[in-house]
């Protein structure tokens, strides 16, 4: 089993190494016009980060993904389709426009996620954030959809397994929309524990709590749907009382966060009620889990469509991933207890509302 030796201060590898921020100018060349998933998301985040000296993160340019990395998740026919659509400037659907610069942006988004994995599992950094676009968690192995062309986090997880000898990877997806593409990529394998907290019923229509994966992967998909209006107590309760205990039993070698910020109360596309500090609290749970298990943790940008809320929430997460701190604890409510009962078909949990 792959394991990084922790430094005595609770960090990883070299205790003085800085966390990493991966970016690429091609993210701004993915022209979606007035679409909610637009370049202004990156511009707002990086303007805020530059005012605070990038929170101490070392800024690196995200490389392009190799075909080998992409083909570990997507068939050749999908790569060909993305290239053809981008060359023609023909969107996949109303939600997924593309243009001449979209292919380069998508390659660097997937490649940045892989470079983050390389840095974490190579001991270069204690944590990191890949803030590129387009996002990825809706891209199914053979279908671009939901603003997404390549399944960035899934590609990064496969890269960890294939290139670094990791045996198990945890993906925590806290985007407000279910990560159907990531789920599809790992539906039938026990190598990846995929935990998704998402608004339900909602786009893309997947993610029912009863869906726990299939075949050898049954039990390794944790779908944790919440209703519109759900706030910090519900989201934190699910992380604290379900995701973290299951993850401890799973014992991953790497933790990846599909970091969407569209569960923020100001987001125009969803109906949950999180604040920027809510993402810090969830990230503190991730940091504590990572430290306890000796498994590095990093995040990859997904959604978040109010630019001010996105910037504030992402920075709160970045500070918590790098600095840790005590997460807010909550008592499990009825929703958490009900979902714990569902997850309890496959994992031992002691949750009572």
Distance of CA 249 to the CA centre of its chain: 21
C-alpha span between 160 and 37 (Å, rounded): 28
Residue 274 per-residue DSSP state:
B
Is 138 labeled as catalytic in the residue annotation?
yes
CA distances from 142 to 73, 139, 185, 243 (A): 9, 8, 10, 28
C-alpha span between 189 and 176 (Å, rounded): 24
Write out the two tokens for 145.
């959809």
C-alpha span between 185 and 110 (Å, rounded): 15
156 Cβ contact partners less than 8 Å away, ≥ 6 residues apart: 110, 113, 114, 116, 117, 256, 300
Cβ(116)–Cβ(22) under 8 Å? yes
Cβ(173)–Cβ(179) under 8 Å? yes
Exposed / middle / buried, residue 310 (Cβ in 10 Å: 0-12, 13-18, 19+): buried
First to last CA, the chain: 36
C-alpha span between 281 and 42 (Å, rounded): 23
How many other C-beta atoms lie within 10 A of the C-beta of residue 180?
Answer: 25
Q: What are phi and psi of 235, to 5 degrees?
A: -65, -45
Annotated catalytic residue within 78, 138, 178, 281: 138
The residues assigned a catalytic role are: 138
């Amino acid at each position: 089993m792959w394991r990084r030796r922790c430094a005595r201060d609770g960090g990883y590898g070299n205790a003085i190494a800085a966390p990493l921020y991966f970016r690429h100018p091609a993210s701004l060349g993915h022209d979606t016009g007035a679409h909610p998933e637009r370049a202004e998301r990156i511009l707002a985040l990086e303007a805020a980060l530059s005012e605070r000296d990038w929170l101490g993160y070392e800024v690196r340019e995200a490389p392009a993904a190799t075909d080998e990395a992409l083909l570990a998740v997507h068939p050749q026919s999908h790569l060909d389709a993305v290239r053809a659509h981008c060359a023609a400037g023909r969107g996949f659907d109303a939600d997924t426009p593309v243009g001449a610069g979209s292919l380069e942006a998508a390659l660097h988004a997937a490649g940045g996620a892989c470079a983050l994995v390389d840095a974490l599992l190579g001991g270069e950094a204690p944590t990191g954030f890949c803030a590129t676009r387009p996002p990825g968690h809706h891209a199914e192995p053979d279908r671009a959809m939901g603003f997404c062309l390549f399944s960035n986090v899934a590609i990064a997880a496969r890269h960890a397994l294939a290139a670094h000898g990791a045996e198990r990877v945890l993906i925590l997806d806290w985007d407000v929309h279910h990560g159907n593409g990531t789920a599809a990529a790992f539906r039938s394998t026990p190598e990846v524990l995929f935990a998704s907290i998402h608004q339900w019923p909602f786009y893309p229509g997947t993610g029912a709590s009863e869906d726990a994966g299939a075949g050898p992967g049954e039990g390794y998909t944790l779908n944790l749907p919440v209703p519109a209006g759900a706030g910090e107590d519900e989201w934190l309760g699910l992380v604290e009382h379900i995701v973290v205990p299951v993850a401890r039993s799973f014992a991953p070698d790497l933790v990846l966060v599909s970091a969407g910020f569209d569960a923020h109360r100001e987001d125009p596309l969803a109906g949950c009620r999180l604040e920027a500090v809510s993402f810090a609290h969830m990230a503190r749970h991730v940091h504590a889990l990572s430290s306890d298990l000796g498994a590095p943790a990093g995040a990859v940008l997904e959604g978040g469509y109010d630019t001010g809320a996105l910037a504030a929430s992402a920075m709160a997460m970045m500070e918590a991933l790098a600095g840790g701190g005590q997460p807010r604890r909550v008592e499990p409510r009825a929703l958490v207890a009900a979902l714990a009962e569902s997850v309890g078909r496959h994992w031992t949990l002691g949750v009572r509302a």
